[in-house]
Amino acid sequence: MEKLAKEEGKYSTQLVEDTKVLCRENKLVIPKKLQHRAVQWYHHYLQHPGHTRLEETLRATMHWKGMRNTVRAYVKKCRSCQVNKRRTLKYGKLPTKIVITQPWECLCVDLIGPYTLRGKDGSEIDFMCLTMIDPATSWFEIVKFPISEHEFDILKGTKGQKGKDKHIQSMQPYFDKMSATVG
């Protein structure tokens, strides 16, 4: 120990609790045999902090050559750290939006409803609407979609489902009418 302290000049010996210890830049030099044990102890009592925080904690008070490799190898083998590691998601992101600048180049069309409005007097109004929005100008049109009471019940789900597809196909004339009024 004294040989190493004299060789490099960066090392010094200090007295800690009546024991001579080797230090480098006021940090305790950990012998090869105790390095793994030191990493294991700090890793456990810091509650699996990950390699960066664990290395920074050890580096604040200790020194040995190859500390980074020792810490990373230990954390890489820790099952708990690997299972609970935060991962950056490379999926689930929305695609970039295609910006439309030419008015009426593209239209967003939707059928909303069926809705039932109840007035304070107890009257009910059943309706659906066809919406059309121009994303370039944000212009929108809403047209009441005329449906019979029977068709309304089918769409609402209170009667059989057979008429649903047929009814949605019958939307074309109203879409054509709406397109003609807008231009």
pLDDT of 95: 77
Let me know if residue 34 belongs to a domain. yes
* Whether pTM exceeds 0.85: no
Q: Is there a single domain that holds both residue 9 and residue 78? A: yes
User: Which residues neighbour 106 within 8 Å (Cβ) at sequence distance 6 or greater?
Assistant: 100, 134, 135, 136
Q: What pLDDT shows up at residue 72?
A: 94
Least confident range from 10-19, 83-92, 128-137: namely 83-92
Distance CA 180, CA 183 (A): 5
Q: How far apart are CA 76 and CA 79, in angstroms?
A: 8
* Residue at 62 is within a domain: yes
Kind and range of the H or E run holding 171: none
Give tens-digit pLDDT for 127-165. Answer: 888 888 988 888 989 988 776 666 666 655 554 444 444
64 and 18 in a common domain: yes
Report pLDDT for 165. 47
pLDDT tens per residue, range 17-76: 888 888 888 899 999 999 999 999 999 999 989 899 999 999 999 999 999 999 999 999
Measured CA to CA, the distance from residue 114 to residue 155 in angstroms comes to 7
Range of the domain at 117: 108-182
Residue 91 forms part of a structural domain: no
21 and 72 together in one domain: yes
Based on the fold, state whether residues 128 and 178 are members of the same structural domain: yes
Looking up residue 31, the CATH number of its domain turns out to be 1.10.340.70
Residue 125's pLDDT band, with cuts at 50, 70 and 90, is confident
In a domain? residue 141: yes
**How many residues belong to the chain?**
183
In the prediction, which pLDDT does 110 show?
Answer: 87
Within a domain: 89: no
Residue 74 confidence (pLDDT): 94
Question: Could you tell me the sign of the dihedral formed by the alpha carbons of 153, 156, 158, 164, in that order?
Answer: positive
* 47 compared with 113, residue with greater pLDDT: 47
**Looking at residue 164, what is its pLDDT?**
43
pLDDT value at position 151?
66
Count of domains for the chain: 2
